[in-house]
Amino acid sequence: MKRFLGITVLILVFSFVAGISYSENLRKTPIVEVVKKSGPAVVNIRTEKVINLKDFEEWGSYGGFFDKFFEEYFGESYSEGTLTTTSLGSGVIVDSRGLVCTNLHVVQKATNILVVLDYGKVMEGEVVIKDFVNDLALIKTDSMEKLPEIDFADPRKIMIGETVVSIGNPFGLENSVTAGVISGIDRAFKHPNCDKYVCRDLLQTDASINLGSSGGALLNLDGELVGINLAVIQKAQNIGFAVKVDKVVTLLQKYLGTKVD
C-alpha cells in the first residue's frame, strides 16, 4: 500500500511539473525567441543639436530680450545665445566592436550623440559614414567591451508574406516590439515635403513602426536582420518601410574595408 501511494505521489508531481513545462513551451512563441536572441542588439539613440541663435539677423537688435525670453522658457536647454534641442531614435549594433547602424535622419544634424544599451549603459558616439541615398548612417561608439551584434539575413531569401518582428528602443523603453508580415520587397518611399528625397528598393511591412523606433531592427523568425526601420505612412493603417539589409552590409563593408558575412 505504501509503495502504491509513493508511486501515485510521484506520478502527480511529475504531471504537475510536466504541466508547467508544457505551459511555458506554449508561451515561448517564435516571436519571444526572436526578442530574446536579438533584442540586446537594439539600442536607443539620443541626440542633441546646439543652435547658435546669434547667427540670426534678429539677434543683433533683440539679443537682450531674447536672452531673458529663452532663459525663462527653456531653462537649462538655453545657454549664452545657444539653444539645445534633443531627439530620440533607435539603432542596431552591426559589429561587436561598437558599430551601430541607424537612419541618417536620426543623427544627421546632431551635435552630440549618445547610444544607450538595453540594460541602460550609455556610450558616446560619432557618425563615421553616411549613406544619403538610403538614409543610413554608421555610428562608432566609445565602447571598450564586446557588444551583442545582430546577425544578417540573406536578402535574396526574404519572402513576401513571411512573419517579421520589429524591435525599437524609443524613449529608452527597451524592446518596443511589434509583429507583422512582409508585404513587398521592392517599394519606393517619397518624402511628402521633398520631391528630391526618394528611397527605393525598400521592404514594406504591416509591423507597426512606433514613433522613436526609426533606425530599429526588422527581423525574420530566425532573429536575423532583414532591414532597418525607416518610416510609416501616417494616414494609412500599418504601412511601414524598412531599408533592406544588403544596404546595411554594403555600408559596413565600406567602412571596415573588408567583406562582411
The set of catalytic residues is: 105, 135, 214
Q: Which residue has the cell 524591435?
A: 167
- Using alpha carbons, list the distances in angstroms from residue 40 to 91, 117, 169: 11, 7, 10
Q: Which residue has the cell 540594460?
A: 119
Beta carbons of 225 and 210 less than 8 angstroms apart: no
Beta carbons of 83 and 51 less than 8 angstroms apart: yes
Q: What nine digits make up the cell of 13? A: 508531481
Q: Which residue has the cell 536620426?
A: 106
C-alpha to C-alpha distance for 86 and 48, rounded to whole angstroms: 5
DSSP 208-252: ---TT-TT-EEE-TTSEEEEEEEEE-TTSSS-EEEEEHHHHHHHH
